[in-house]
Structures are given as C-alpha cells and as structure tokens.
Amino acid sequence: MSTWRTTAALSRAAALGALGVATAVLFGEPAVMVLTAPFLLMGALGLLHRPTSTPVARTLVDHAVLHEGQGTRSRLVVSDLSGVEHVTRIAATVPHVALHPAAGRIGQLLGPDEEAPLLEVSPRRWGRRNLGEENVAFTSPWAGYRWGPARLNGSRLQALPVRAAFDSRAEAPQPLGLVGAHRSRRPGDGSEFAAIRRFHAGDRLRRIHWRVSLRTDALHVVSTRGEEDTAVLVVVDALADHGRSGGVDGAASSLDVTVRAAAALAEHHVRRGDRVSLRVVGSGGETVQYGAGARHLQIILGRLATMQVGTPRDLRGEQLQLGVTAGTVVIVLSPMLSVAMATLTATLVQRGLPVLVVDTLPAEVTPAVVEGTDPQVAGLAWRMRLVERREVLARLAALGCPVVAWRGPGTLDDVLRRLARRAQLPQVRAR
Amino acid sequence: MIREWTPGQWGLRVTAALGPVLALLATTPAGVPPRAWLVVLVALLSLAHARLPESPVGTVAMGAVVVWWGVAFRGGPDAWAIPAAAALVASHVAALLAGYGPDALGVDPATLRRWLVRAGAVFLLAPGVWLVAAVLRDRGEIPGVWVTGLALALVAVVAASYALNRGAED
C-alpha cells in the first residue's frame, strides 16, 4: 500500500530556504535571501497542498476480449483523486502488445473532475496477452508530495485470431445431416433438379411436369435432390510453431497461418449453417464439439486463442480420438512436419472420410534454433526436414488426400469439388 | 539511462546542470569571482544533479552556491543576485519536472507551461526581496532585525521539519 511522501523537490526547496535564511543571518548578507526567497515560497506552497486522500488504484481495460489488431483502452481507476495534480503511468512493454503512447509512458496534469490518463493497447497477435505491470505515481500541487510509484498488475486480454479472407463456393462432398445448403445425394425437397419420374403417392401436385405427363399419358413429377448440412471437423496442428511471428501486420509463423485459416474456415462453415467442430492437436488438446451458430463460432475462436502449443507426451497419431462420423469433412491444418499428424491424416483417409490437408508452412520460414548452434548444421537439418515433409505430402497425395497451400479465398474449392465427385463413386473402405 | 532521454528531458537536464554554475559565476560581474575549485565542485555536483534529479546532490550543489553568496559579499545585496536567483529557480524547476517520472518519460507541454508560469511568479519574490534589502541598507542597521530573522528562520525550519516528518510517517 503506497502513501503520500514528500518529494525531493520539496525537500530541496525547504532545505535551501532554511539554509538561505540561516546564511543571511549568520553572515549578515541579505543577498542570500534574494537567492533563496523563491525556494521558501515554493516549499511553503508545497507543504500547504499536502493531500489527505488515500488513493486506491487499479487498471481496467474496456474490452477484455477482442481480435488481434483491434485496440482498447486501459483505464486507471482510482478511488480518490482529490489533491492529485499530476499522474504518471509507466506500463511495461510486452511482446505482441502495442501501446499508445508507444513506450507506455504517460505523464499528464489532471484537471478538476478529470479522469486519469488513458493508455491505448492493441494485441498484435492472437492468444492470451497479459499486459505488463504498471507503475503509477500521483503528485500533489506544487510537487510537494508524491503517492507511489505503486506497482499495479496488468490486465489480461484475450486476442481472438483475425479471420483470414476466405470464401468457398464448393459444396461438401458427403453432406449427411438435416436442412442445409449442400446438395445431397439423396432425393428430397430441394431446388436442385434430379430427374423426371413417374408420379408416386405422396408427391406434391406442384411438382407435376405437365408437358411430359401429357406426352406420356401418365403423371410425371420433377424430383429434386435434398439439401443438407454437413459436419466439418477442423483439426489444428499445435505441436510446434515454425517461423517468427510479426503479429497481425507482420510476417506469419506456421501457427499464425494455421489459427487464422482455422478461424476463417470455421466462420465460413458456420455461416453456411454447417456443424463445425474443432480439435487441437497440441499439449492442451483443446476440443470444441459439433455445433452451429454465432455463439458456437465465438467458442471456437476463443479456444483457438487460448490453445496451448507443444507436443504432448506419448503422442501417437493412430491413437488420437477425433470423434469423426460418416459424412464429416475433415480439414487438417498443419505444416506436416510431425509424423503423428501425418499418421493421423492417413488413418482418417483410410477410413474413407473426405479429408483434405491445408499446408500452413509459410514459404519463407526459417527455423528457430538453440543459441550457439552452427548455422550450417541448422540449415542442413532444416533442409532434411523439408525433404521428409515433401515425402510425407507425396504419400498423403498418393493415398488420395489432397494437400493445398493456404491462399485465402478459393483455397478449398477445387479439392472439395474433386472430393465430391469421388464421393459419388463406389468405395472400398479399410476398417 | 542517458540514451533514453527525450529531447525534452535533455533540455531539462541541461537547465538543471547549468543553473547552479551560472548562479555561482554571477558573483564575478559583481567583482568577487568564485574560487576555481568551487566552480569545478559545483559543476560536478550540478552534473550529478542533472543525472539524478531526485537525489539530494542538487541541494548540496545549490547550497554551496548560496553559502558562497553569503561568504563572498559584504555590504549589501548586489543586483547580480537576481539573475543568480533566476538560474537557481530554473535549475530547481527543471529537476522537479525531470523527477515526475523515469528518464525516458517525455515532457508534457501542459505541465511545462504550468511550471514556467509558477516559476516566473515565484521568481518575482527575488527582486522584491532585493528591493526591500536595498531600502533597508540605505536606512542603516535596524536594531533586532537579524534576531527577528533568525527567529523566523528557526520557526520555518521547525515547521518544515514537522511537516516533512508527518508526511513521511503517513
């Protein structure tokens, strides 16, 4: 708990004032009083404005949850600002959080009934962001007394990933649900023409095709395909982060691409009315069950923002339980640098599920190496890893799993159409 | 760190450093040049004062100037005491402004303006006291004036000490 203490300025003014009077009296020299009279006055005014308040301060952000790149204000909430003339706020800088003023330092006069100065903060990267500790000091009029500097805990922000630009016009390969936007293989009450067939009991009269009926002397109806929603499972590889993240407006690491692409895919499918599930393969193992709607999307984004990155113990791709049912489209977002992810993907493909891999390794990524490592050795190791990765991707493609690099809108259109065409063909499934 | 100083901080620190030295050298035009060692001492203390505006070293630097002015002159106040007072007030206020925060804190223009006005107003006391001293000097020695001054000084010191201690205890 901080208290009001005299400042160095008040001590100096009082000491010089007293010294001036004493010297003037001792040496009988009034010139000294000319020098120190202003100090006596400043000291007296400083003493007269001694505050009696007992401020209790804390910081508060206007928005605790926001998207990366967005900004909010960090307020200094003080119980009693009476007797405070000047406020100093010094916020510690933390990675991936931009502050305004840039260095997080504010020193301002406080007007009557005025709020303490605001600090603008903006998370530049998705994830949980703890604002750094803040040192706060209040100074009384005439700089006689100072409260603090008191150390305040920084607020916590949750930065949701900004949704990468994405759109797709392709339909789900195997829609198997209720009412939705995807053309089903089954006939139903949709708008997509399927065939003209003979009238059956139960057919709607408005479906009768009169021209064909007159020509054939038998009632014929237009049959359509049903339109169903689909389930989409987004699998996020959070085993490691490759590359350096420069935040929302800088270079993207593999995890940046993964998370932003996952957010974009989730939003796209939720808006189309599909049921979307999320499974994070990482040390946290975060999961979001199938669901739809805006609230569900917020849950997915929140889970993406708070996921833990790392490799869990005893990670085996074939043992990972994803809870995938028939008709589910599985989108694996991964740089495919882990054997476990490759095994997991291959297992899903062999089950006959429509699986597609979105390659999220940025083109110009350089690996993070331990300090002191020979750069040539590190470069060689990285090249070998890339060769292995190429082999893994080729094997997945050979299994029938399309692999596409994330490039925003239209990334999935072509592969989804191909998967849809393949879904029409008879298949032999491995069990 | 000095490297973190903003241009505003540099201005404050230079003012804080130059003030006591100029106030000391102001006795030269009045015919009493300060000793060289004293100039060097005050200059060093002033530099330390500029670097650490919250430390007591500033009081020592300015105190040395005040004592020198008391020792150097006999025979009434000199007009050069007024610019010397201005230099000391400027140094004090510059250090006060620099002490509002860490080295890298920029200088708030509104705060600077307020303190310039205050410093100007407070400084007006110096020519006032000089005028009173000049008038009293012409009238000769007034019996009991120094005893009264000493008593007032003691009261001021006791009151200031009491207030300072109270502030620290709270």
Is A318 inside a domain boundary?
yes
Same domain? For B31 and B104 the reply is: yes
Same domain? For B96 and B157 the reply is: no
Residue A64 φ/ψ region, left for φ over 0, alpha for ψ in the -120 to 50 degree band, beta for the rest: alpha
A10: pLDDT strictly greater than 80: yes
Q: Are A114 and A78 in contact (CB under 8 A)?
A: no
Same domain? For B147 and B110 the reply is: no
Is A407 inside a domain boundary?
yes
d(CA A345, CA A291): 23
Give A114's contacts (C-beta < 8 A, 6+ positions apart): none
Q: What is the ipTM of this complex?
A: 0.86
Is A415 inside a domain boundary?
yes
Same domain? For A268 and A284 the reply is: yes
State whether residue B74 sits within 8 Å of chain A by CB. Answer: yes
Average pLDDT, chain A: 83
Helix axis angle for B57-72 and B36-51, nearest 10°, is: 150
Is A430 inside a domain boundary?
no
Same domain? For A66 and A44 the reply is: no
Among residues A297, A282, A281, the alpha carbon closest in space to that of A330 is found at A281
Nearest to A33 among B59, B127, B133 (CB): B133
CATH number of the domain residue A129 falls in: 2.60.40.10
- Name the minimum distance, in Å, from the CA of A32 to any CA of chain B: 6
Q: Are A154 and A131 in contact (CB under 8 A)?
A: yes
Q: Which of A28-32, A157-161, B150-154 bottoms out in mean pLDDT, i.e. has the lowest?
A: B150-154
Summarize pLDDT for A216-269 with one digit per residue, the tens: 888 888 877 665 567 889 999 988 888 888 888 888 888 998 999 899 888 888
User: How far are the Cα atoms of A18, A28, A417, B61, B99 from residue B55, in angstroms, in the given order?
Assistant: 18, 30, 75, 11, 10
Q: Are A409 and A165 in contact (CB under 8 A)?
A: yes
Same domain? For B27 and B99 the reply is: yes
d(CA B32, CA B81): 12
- CA torsion A414-A418-A419-A420 (nearest 10°) is 100
d(CA A286, CA A280): 5
Q: Are A256 and A125 in contact (CB under 8 A)?
A: yes
The pLDDT, as a whole number, for residue A250 is: 84
Same domain? For B148 and B82 the reply is: no
Helix (H) or strand (E) holding A31: helix A31-48
Summarize pLDDT for A333-368 with one digit per residue, the tens: 999 888 888 888 988 888 888 888 999 888 878 777
Q: Which of A174-178, A200-204, B97-101 bottoms out in mean pLDDT, i.e. has the lowest?
A: A174-178
Query: A19 contacts in B (CB within 8 Å)?
Result: 63, 66-67
Same domain? For A253 and A320 the reply is: yes
Q: Peptide bond before B109: cis, by omega within 30 degrees of 0?
A: no
A132: pLDDT strictly greater than 80: yes
CB contact under 8 A, B81 and A34: yes
Strands A355-359 and A403-405: parallel
A–B CB contacts, 8 A cutoff, strictly below: 189
Same domain? For A295 and A418 the reply is: yes
Is A381 inside a domain boundary?
yes
Supply the DSSP symbol for B34: P
Q: Tell me which residues of chain A, numbers 266 to 305, contact chain B at a CB-CB cutoff of 8 Å.
A: none
Same domain? For A106 and A208 the reply is: no
User: How far are the Cα atoms of A8, A193, A422, B16, B128 from residue B20, in angstroms, in the given order?
Assistant: 17, 95, 89, 8, 21
Same domain? For A114 and A152 the reply is: yes
B138: pLDDT strictly greater than 80: no
Helix (H) or strand (E) holding A120: strand A119-123
CB contact under 8 A, A8 and B102: no
Same domain? For B113 and B164 the reply is: no
Q: Is A211 exposed, middle or buried (0-12, 13-18, 19+ CB in 10 A)?
A: exposed
pTM above 0.95, yes or no: no
Other beta carbons within 10 Å of B55: 15
Same domain? For B102 and B165 the reply is: no
A407: pLDDT strictly greater than 80: no
Is A173 inside a domain boundary?
no
Summarize pLDDT for A341-350 with one digit per residue, the tens: 888 898 888 8
Same domain? For A280 and A408 the reply is: yes
Is A165 inside a domain boundary?
no
d(CA A268, CA A31): 82
- Given A170, A194, A228, which residue is the final one in a domain? A228
Same domain? For A290 and A372 the reply is: yes
The pLDDT, as a whole number, for residue B112 is: 93
Give A121's contacts (C-beta < 8 A, 6+ positions apart): A61, A71, A72, A73, A74, A97, A98, A99, A100, A131, A157
d(CA A35, CA B30): 15
Is A174 inside a domain boundary?
no
Q: Tell me which residues of chain B, numbers 54 to 73, contact chain A at a CB-CB cutoff of 8 Å.
A: 54-56, 58-59, 62-63, 65-67, 69-71, 73
Same domain? For A351 and A270 the reply is: yes
Written as one letter, the residue type at A60 is L
Among residues A410, A43, A103, the alpha carbon closest in space to that of B103 is found at A103
- DSSP string computed for A327-339: T-EEEEEE----H
d(CA A40, CA A34): 11
Same domain? For B149 and B135 the reply is: no
CB contact under 8 A, B125 and A37: yes
Same domain? For A244 and A392 the reply is: yes
The pLDDT, as a whole number, for residue A228 is: 58
- Name the minimum distance, in Å, from the CA of A81 to any CA of chain B: 17
Higher pLDDT, B1 or A89: A89
The pLDDT, as a whole number, for residue B49 is: 92
The pLDDT, as a whole number, for residue B93 is: 95
Residue numbers of the domain that contains A26? 4-48
**Token pair 């004032």 in the structure block, residue:** A17
Same domain? For B78 and B162 the reply is: no
Q: How many domains does chain B have?
A: 2
Nearest to B66 among A16, A25, A50 (CB): A16
CATH number of the domain residue A351 falls in: 3.40.50.410
Same domain? For B50 and B133 the reply is: yes
Summarize pLDDT for B53-108 with one digit per residue, the tens: 999 999 999 999 999 988 887 666 788 889 999 999 999 999 999 999 888 888 88
Strand segments, DSSP code E, in A153-249 are 156-160, 179-188, 192-198, 220-228, 231-237
The pLDDT, as a whole number, for residue A139 is: 93
- Name the minimum distance, in Å, from the CA of B84 to any CA of chain A: 7
Same domain? For A374 and A257 the reply is: yes
Q: How many domains does chain A have?
A: 4
Three-state SS for B48? helix
Give B83's contacts (C-beta < 8 A, 6+ positions apart): B22, B26
Same domain? For B16 and B55 the reply is: yes
Instruction: Output the six-digit token pair for A54.
Output: 């007992």
Other beta carbons within 10 Å of A76: 21
Same domain? For A189 and A269 the reply is: no
Instruction: Output the six-digit token pair for A179.
Output: 């009412």
Instruction: Output the six-digit token pair for B130.
Output: 């000089």
Residue numbers of the domain that contains B165? 141-170
Helix (H) or strand (E) holding A405: strand A403-405
Nearest to A8 among B23, B54, B146 (CB): B54
**Token pair 């060289």 in the structure block, residue:** B36
Summarize pLDDT for A34-68 with one digit per residue, the tens: 888 899 889 988 988 888 888 888 888 999 998 88
d(CA A426, CA B5): 75
d(CA B30, CA B24): 11
